[in-house]
Amino acid sequence: MIRNPIAVTSRVSPELSALVERLANDPDIRQPVTLASVRIFLAGLLSSDFKETERLHRFDAGESVLDEIDALIEEFGGDMLAGELAQDTASEALSRVIEAVMSDDSRDNPPTLETVRDAVTAGLASSLVGEGVLEDDESETLLDEIDGLIERFGPDALAERFVRYE
Protein backbone atom coordinates (compact mmCIF):
# COMPACT_ATOMS: atom_id res chain seq x y z
CA MET A 1 0.00 0.00 0.00
CA ILE A 2 1.37 3.44 -0.95
CA ARG A 3 1.23 5.92 1.89
CA ASN A 4 0.28 9.55 1.56
CA PRO A 5 3.46 11.67 1.63
CA ILE A 6 1.77 14.32 3.78
CA ALA A 7 3.12 14.25 7.33
CA VAL A 8 0.33 12.42 9.12
CA THR A 9 1.77 13.23 12.53
CA SER A 10 1.11 16.94 12.02
CA ARG A 11 -2.63 16.17 11.90
CA VAL A 12 -2.82 13.96 14.99
CA SER A 13 -3.79 15.33 18.40
CA PRO A 14 -1.39 14.91 21.30
CA GLU A 15 -4.00 12.71 23.03
CA LEU A 16 -4.21 10.25 20.14
CA SER A 17 -0.45 10.31 19.71
CA ALA A 18 0.09 9.45 23.38
CA LEU A 19 -2.45 6.61 23.18
CA VAL A 20 -0.78 5.19 20.08
CA GLU A 21 2.63 5.39 21.69
CA ARG A 22 1.35 3.65 24.82
CA LEU A 23 -0.17 0.82 22.80
CA ALA A 24 2.86 0.50 20.51
CA ASN A 25 5.17 0.19 23.52
CA ASP A 26 2.97 -2.25 25.44
CA PRO A 27 4.97 -5.49 25.73
CA ASP A 28 1.75 -7.51 26.18
CA ILE A 29 0.52 -6.60 22.68
CA ARG A 30 2.09 -9.05 20.26
CA GLN A 31 0.32 -8.01 17.05
CA PRO A 32 1.27 -4.87 15.10
CA VAL A 33 -0.77 -1.91 16.36
CA THR A 34 -2.94 -0.65 13.50
CA LEU A 35 -5.49 2.15 13.30
CA ALA A 36 -8.24 -0.46 13.51
CA SER A 37 -6.79 -2.03 16.66
CA VAL A 38 -6.42 1.42 18.28
CA ARG A 39 -10.08 2.12 17.50
CA ILE A 40 -11.16 -1.21 19.00
CA PHE A 41 -9.11 -0.50 22.13
CA LEU A 42 -10.49 3.03 22.45
CA ALA A 43 -14.10 1.97 21.86
CA GLY A 44 -13.66 -0.68 24.55
CA LEU A 45 -12.66 1.99 27.06
CA LEU A 46 -15.79 4.03 26.48
CA SER A 47 -18.98 3.21 28.34
CA SER A 48 -22.08 2.34 26.35
CA ASP A 49 -23.72 5.59 27.57
CA PHE A 50 -20.85 7.64 26.18
CA LYS A 51 -20.93 5.76 22.88
CA GLU A 52 -24.66 6.46 22.49
CA THR A 53 -24.18 10.14 23.36
CA GLU A 54 -21.27 10.35 20.93
CA ARG A 55 -23.36 8.83 18.15
CA LEU A 56 -26.36 11.09 18.78
CA HIS A 57 -24.51 14.32 19.50
CA ARG A 58 -21.31 13.95 17.54
CA PHE A 59 -21.77 17.41 16.01
CA ASP A 60 -21.96 19.01 19.49
CA ALA A 61 -18.98 17.21 20.97
CA GLY A 62 -16.30 18.62 18.70
CA GLU A 63 -13.61 16.30 17.45
CA SER A 64 -13.07 13.55 19.97
CA VAL A 65 -10.25 11.07 19.77
CA LEU A 66 -12.72 8.48 18.50
CA ASP A 67 -13.82 10.85 15.73
CA GLU A 68 -10.19 11.51 14.95
CA ILE A 69 -9.30 7.82 14.63
CA ASP A 70 -12.40 7.24 12.48
CA ALA A 71 -11.33 10.02 10.11
CA LEU A 72 -7.82 8.58 9.88
CA ILE A 73 -9.19 5.09 9.18
CA GLU A 74 -11.40 6.51 6.46
CA GLU A 75 -8.46 8.30 4.87
CA PHE A 76 -5.63 5.79 5.33
CA GLY A 77 -7.35 2.47 6.06
CA GLY A 78 -7.59 0.41 9.21
CA ASP A 79 -4.45 -1.57 8.39
CA MET A 80 -2.14 1.46 8.61
CA LEU A 81 0.44 0.96 11.34
CA ALA A 82 -0.50 3.27 14.16
CA GLY A 83 3.13 3.95 15.01
CA GLU A 84 3.23 6.25 12.00
CA LEU A 85 0.98 8.59 13.99
CA ALA A 86 3.05 9.01 17.14
CA GLN A 87 4.17 12.62 17.43
CA ASP A 88 7.46 13.61 18.83
CA THR A 89 7.20 17.27 17.90
CA ALA A 90 5.32 20.17 19.38
CA SER A 91 2.37 21.87 17.74
CA GLU A 92 3.04 25.03 15.78
CA ALA A 93 1.87 27.16 18.72
CA LEU A 94 4.03 25.34 21.26
CA SER A 95 6.97 25.50 18.84
CA ARG A 96 6.64 29.31 18.83
CA VAL A 97 6.62 29.31 22.62
CA ILE A 98 9.72 27.08 22.75
CA GLU A 99 11.47 29.37 20.26
CA ALA A 100 10.60 32.39 22.43
CA VAL A 101 12.11 30.69 25.48
CA MET A 102 15.18 29.62 23.47
CA SER A 103 15.76 33.20 22.29
CA ASP A 104 15.75 34.55 25.86
CA ASP A 105 19.33 35.79 26.27
CA SER A 106 19.11 35.71 30.07
CA ARG A 107 19.21 31.89 30.10
CA ASP A 108 22.52 30.16 30.71
CA ASN A 109 21.37 26.68 29.68
CA PRO A 110 19.22 25.38 26.84
CA PRO A 111 15.58 25.20 28.00
CA THR A 112 14.02 21.91 29.00
CA LEU A 113 10.36 21.00 28.73
CA GLU A 114 9.97 21.95 32.40
CA THR A 115 11.57 25.35 31.72
CA VAL A 116 9.06 25.96 28.94
CA ARG A 117 6.18 24.86 31.18
CA ASP A 118 7.36 27.26 33.88
CA ALA A 119 7.52 30.09 31.33
CA VAL A 120 3.97 29.36 30.15
CA THR A 121 2.60 29.33 33.70
CA ALA A 122 4.50 32.56 34.43
CA GLY A 123 2.60 34.34 31.64
CA LEU A 124 4.70 33.89 28.52
CA ALA A 125 1.72 32.63 26.50
CA SER A 126 -0.32 35.69 27.43
CA SER A 127 2.57 37.94 26.43
CA LEU A 128 2.87 36.18 23.09
CA VAL A 129 -0.89 36.58 22.51
CA GLY A 130 -0.49 40.29 23.24
CA GLU A 131 2.37 40.53 20.74
CA GLY A 132 0.33 38.71 18.09
CA VAL A 133 2.67 35.70 18.01
CA LEU A 134 -0.10 33.39 19.28
CA GLU A 135 -3.85 33.42 18.91
CA ASP A 136 -5.83 33.40 22.15
CA ASP A 137 -7.36 29.97 21.40
CA GLU A 138 -3.90 28.53 20.70
CA SER A 139 -2.67 29.51 24.16
CA GLU A 140 -5.50 27.59 25.86
CA THR A 141 -4.09 24.16 24.99
CA LEU A 142 -0.40 24.80 25.64
CA LEU A 143 -0.29 23.47 29.21
CA ASP A 144 -2.03 20.23 28.27
CA GLU A 145 0.35 19.73 25.37
CA ILE A 146 3.51 20.51 27.35
CA ASP A 147 2.30 18.29 30.21
CA GLY A 148 1.78 15.47 27.71
CA LEU A 149 5.31 15.88 26.38
CA ILE A 150 6.71 15.98 29.93
CA GLU A 151 4.80 12.81 30.80
CA ARG A 152 6.18 11.01 27.75
CA PHE A 153 9.74 12.36 27.58
CA GLY A 154 10.47 13.72 31.05
CA PRO A 155 10.83 17.26 32.40
CA ASP A 156 14.54 17.43 31.59
CA ALA A 157 14.18 16.70 27.86
CA LEU A 158 15.65 19.53 25.82
CA ALA A 159 12.77 21.59 24.45
CA GLU A 160 14.55 22.40 21.20
CA ARG A 161 14.20 18.77 20.16
CA PHE A 162 10.43 19.17 19.90
CA VAL A 163 10.28 22.32 17.76
CA ARG A 164 8.35 21.69 14.56
CA TYR A 165 9.90 23.38 11.56
CA GLU A 166 7.46 23.59 8.67
DSSP line for 37-51: HHHHHHHHHS-HHHH
Q: Domain ranges in the chain? A: 8-85, 92-162
Q: Name the pTM for this structure.
A: 0.56
Measure the CA angle with vertex 19, ends 165 and 124; round to 5°.
45
Q: What is the pLDDT of residues 42-85, one digit of tens each?
A: 887 765 555 454 444 433 333 578 888 899 899 889 998 887 77
Close Cβ partners of 64 (under 8 Å, ≥ 6 residues apart) = 54
CA distance 114 to 150: 7
Taking each helix axis from N to C end, the angle separating 113-121 and 142-153, rounded to the nearest 10 degrees, works out to 160
Which of 57 and 107 is assigned the larger pLDDT?
107
